[in-house]
Amino acid sequence: MTTNAPTGAIAPNVEQPAPGAPNNWRRFFSFSTDHKVIGIQYIVTAFLFFLIGGLFAMIMRGELITPDADLVDRTVYNALFTMHGTVMLFMWTFPVLNGLANYLVPLMIGARDMAFPRLNAIAFWMVPVFGIILMSSFLVPGGPAQAGWWSYPPVSLQNPGGNLVNGQFLWLVAVALSGVSSIMGAVNIVTTIIKMRAPGMGFFRMPAFVWTVLSAQMIQLFGLPALTAGAVMLLFDLTTGTSFFDPIKGGSPVLYQHFFWFYSHPAVYVIILPVFGIFSEVFPVYARKPLFGYKVVAVSSLIITGLSAIVWVHHMFASGTPGWMRMLFMFSTMLISVPTGIKVFAWVATVWGGKLRLTTPMLFALGGLVMFVFSGITGIMLAAVPFDIHVNNTYFVVGHFHYVIYGATVMGVYAAIYHWFPKMTGRMYYEGLGKLHFALTFIGANLNFFPMHPLGLQGMPRRVASYDPEFAFWNVIASLGGFLLGMSTLPFILNMVSSWVQGKPAPDNPWRAIGLEWLVSSPPPTENFEELPNVIAEPYGYGKDEPLVSNASAMIGTELAPTPSP
Amino acid sequence: MKTRTFLTLAIAAIVLAAISWWIGQMSYSWMPPEASIEAKLVDDLFSLLVAVASFIFLGVTGTLLYSAVFSRAAKYDTSDGPPIEGNVAVEVVWTVIPFVIVMGIAFYSYQIYDQMDVHGPMEHRHAAVPTDAAAPQVPTERPAEVEEIEVLAWQWAWEFRYPNANVSSTELHVPSDRRIRLALKADSVIHGFYVPAFRLKQDIIPRTDAQLEFTPILEGTYRLRDSQYSGTYFAAMQADVVVQSPEDYDQWLTLAASQPPATAYNQAVYEYERAAKKPISAGWKSVPPAPAPMVNYAADPQPVSPQAAIPTPEDKQS
């Protein structure tokens, strides 16, 4: 295997920090411009918010374990589901995926850093800022926003406390700032991918993960302005008495819904596309086969980006949407399942006939794929207007998107974290704890989210603090699954912390994976590459025994290159 | 070898199709009672969707599971698998077939939607094109007589008005086997009119009147729920829907018309007032509920929470 760096460089590499930058753990708390530091900052910050959002969900599941509204006040429940959705989307999934993209994209395309390192750091440091703004809404009179993460007017404009600075106000400020941060990140990532690829790294030599990140970040560029504008207009309605969206004063609440979903549906693809990329990276490594139909898989990401812009009204089938519009968006929504299906079949074909190794990342990727397929078929059902009208805004939809967001996305993110953990930290994680984590997550997620489907079919609306006793059975199971899911994070945290502190030192390429990031040391030096790689092959050359770059030893630097044993 | 692979695949597909069809038939029992013509149409569509979905899901997970069990690398086997990078024929097949399937589903859904003919929102605005004249495919069983009922969605109460009989109620009574046309109005925020047993749902946007048409066919009592989040007491905004024979329905109208209007029990008002009496608030400030509706016919109070004691008898007007 000439493609892979020899596994001789066992000792964690000595860092070569930029002049004046701290080179120990303190760099993670500094305004570092190193994309790898920023990547880990994103991932860890996002994970803390994941725990907070999960705690909200567990209180909600505690409320829903009985039919009556008896654990918390209805206003508290409404605030919790609003904050749960907001935190999980804006503070967890977007930042954690940005973190992975930040860490991996420059390494994968052979760049020394992002195109705009300082902008990168600013975009990250906005995350804790708007995170704190959002959390501080628990302390203002009237409590946090209680209008759901959609913040549909007129409910979001009601402001019963009458204060100018209320939970909804802070919510809108936080979401607008999150939009600005994400746009900054998107400009940076798109520029990096287009302009900073190493010599020989043509578009069709980029790993599929880079393709999906590019597609996802392009959505941020065209979609986020709509949401951010909508949020700012709603903020004006709330504070200065304009009436863009207030029907009583002649505004149009349906217009807000269009603004909101024009971004927030494509946002689902911002989330799921990089996870598709993770699947495309993980399956070939642990099945020891090239990604099946790589070019089609790569291009299908861009097709998804295009189609994602013309499906948003399917969120509004039961809203003030005329029949012709319902039909039109049913057809466009059905179409988007085709490029998605291509990817699924390609992964199955990649795994088929391979030499599988069921490590923790592979288990998470396989489990994530199965749960994604389930969410995909319920997604096609939801696209069918007559059926959607029955289950729209019921727990069926909640179950569907939790299979997407937890089943596929969180499982995919876990797969990525385990897969690249040795690269990021220079340490190996504990396989046993990883497998335990997978088992708890997979069982917990299915126990939690599957029961939501029968509940929705039976007609239980989403966002309810109380429900008719007929729904109790499935809700108890869902709650137990939710608590199990909460517990499942414990072995993960234990594994990550203890492995980083005292895990076995990781070689450069513990998985015998093909990719530029696996040719450099673990963790990579500050500038990533001594000499920019000269890429001479397509990715995923498993079983082909061909070199990926022509300058492997110059790339990692002569003084870092391991001396071949005599 | 090639024939054997083909035969194995064909047998697997046939078995899978049979199982999927069976699951599709099961799916009828996952739904609430079919209390309207529209419900039957939706359930037929759902059954098809479930069958197709089962085929895809079982096919994909079955293949993955087979691989995970039988394609494992031996412990010290560090060799790679076969370097298969793709197969144009296979890729074309798995692009075209899903495309045909989803387009087929979309056209079938279109037909179902056309037959339901629910006259959703804003249909009247787009009525410049005489769609009704060009659409003679109205199901034969649909009755010609249309019963018009007004639905008012307060924050948080349902009120139903029968303009022809001069009756108002907090319980929705409808005659079976008659076309019902609802005129939906919302007071201050968006609500969703949702009766699972009818498989019907329509958001009601303030200042934008919406219509909904359906034909109930099965006598019984069902639940009406608010399906669009409407604030603090959203979950408590429910009502009963009673489908009666036309004779019982007329009798009920006559009885209700003879009752003087009185304040109905309202869960949101009850809980709001109870919370206001508590010395310490366990929650945050809520928008005050609209006054409980004054109606001729008030449903029996059904506390959504057992903490809500049964209100005093004068609230009952039945």
One DSSP character per residue, A113-143 reads S-S-HHHHHHHHHHHHHHHHHHHHTTTSTT-
Q: Give the residue-averaged pLDDT of A180-208.
A: 96
Compare CB distances from B81 to A154, A289, A319 and report the shortest one's residue.
A289
Cβ–Cβ gap A158/B67 under 8 Å: no
Q: What is the pLDDT of residue B199?
A: 96
Q: Which of A464, A470, A511 to mutate to test the interface with B (most CBs of B within 10 A)?
A: A464
Nearest to A495 by CA among A441, A436, A444: A436
Residue B284 has pLDDT above 90, yes or no: yes
**For B204-254, how does the pLDDT look when each residue is reduced to its tens digit (9 = 90+)?**
999 988 899 999 999 999 999 999 999 999 999 999 999 999 999 999 999
Measured between beta carbons, the chain A residues lying within 8 angstroms of B276 are none
**For A231-257, how does the pLDDT look when each residue is reduced to its tens digit (9 = 90+)?**
999 999 999 989 999 999 999 999 999
**For A397-411, how does the pLDDT look when each residue is reduced to its tens digit (9 = 90+)?**
999 999 999 999 999
Q: Give the residue-averaged pLDDT of A99-112.
A: 96
B57 touches chain A (CB under 8 A): yes
Q: What is the pLDDT of residue A21?
A: 61
B287 touches chain A (CB under 8 A): yes
Could you write out the DSSP letters of every residue in A288-336? TSPPTTHHHHHHHHHHHHHHHTT-GGGGGTTSS--HHHHHHHHHHHHHH
Q: Give the residue-averaged pLDDT of A365-384.
A: 97
Residue A285: closest C-alpha in chain B: B80
| Tokens encoding A366 | 């396989």
Compare CB distances from B63 to A348, A383, A462 and report the shortest one's residue.
A348
Q: What is the pLDDT of residue A413?
A: 98
Residue B55 has pLDDT above 90, yes or no: yes
Q: What is the pLDDT of residue B301?
A: 61
Residue A478 has pLDDT above 80, yes or no: yes
Q: Percent of chain A having pLDDT more than 90?
A: 87
Q: Percent of chain A having pLDDT more than 70?
A: 94
Q: What is the pLDDT of residue A214?
A: 97
Q: What is the pLDDT of residue A566?
A: 38
Cis amide leading into A566 (omega within 30): no
B81 touches chain A (CB under 8 A): yes
Residue A251: closest C-alpha in chain B: B207
Residue A35 has pLDDT above 50, yes or no: yes
**For B254-266, how does the pLDDT look when each residue is reduced to its tens digit (9 = 90+)?**
999 999 999 999 9
Residue B306 has pLDDT above 70, yes or no: no
Residue B37 has pLDDT above 80, yes or no: yes
Residue A131 has pLDDT above 70, yes or no: yes
Backbone φ and ψ for B154, nearest 5 degrees, come out as: -90, 165
B210 vs A97, residue with greater confidence: A97
| The CATH number of domain B146-315 is 2.60.40.420 | yes
Residue A80 has pLDDT above 70, yes or no: yes
Residue A26 has pLDDT above 80, yes or no: no
CA distance B69 to chain A (A): 9
Domain boundaries of chain B, sorted by first residue: 2-68+87-116, 146-315
Q: How high does pLDDT run on average in chain B?
A: 87
**For B109-156, how does the pLDDT look when each residue is reduced to its tens digit (9 = 90+)?**
999 999 988 776 655 444 344 444 444 444 445 556 789 999 999 999
Compare CB distances from A366 to B68, B271, B285 and report the shortest one's residue.
B68
In a 3-state reduction of DSSP, which class is residue A196? coil
Measured between beta carbons, the chain A residues lying within 8 angstroms of B67 are 287, 351-354, 356
Q: What is the pLDDT of residue B143?
A: 57
Q: CA neighbours within 13 Å on the CB side: how many for A258?
A: 11
CA distance B286 to chain A (A): 6
Q: Give the residue-averaged pLDDT of A62-89.
A: 95
Residue B316 has pLDDT above 80, yes or no: no
Q: How high does pLDDT run on average in chain A?
A: 92
Q: Give the residue-averaged pLDDT of A423-441.
A: 97
Nearest to B225 by CA among B284, B180, B175, B267: B267
Q: What is the pLDDT of residue A162?
A: 87
Task: Kindly list the structural domains of chain A, giving each domain's residue range(s) and its CATH number in brackets, ordered by start.
Answer: 37-556 (1.20.210.10)
Q: Which of A140, A155, A351, A511 to mutate to test the interface with B (most CBs of B within 10 A)?
A: A155
Q: Which of A64, A294, A355 to mutate to test the interface with B (most CBs of B within 10 A)?
A: A355
**For B153-173, how does the pLDDT look when each residue is reduced to its tens digit (9 = 90+)?**
999 999 999 998 999 999 999
Q: Give the residue-averaged pLDDT of B266-270.
A: 93
Residue A109 has pLDDT above 70, yes or no: yes
Residue B33: closest C-alpha in chain A: A458
End-to-end CA distance of chain A: 18
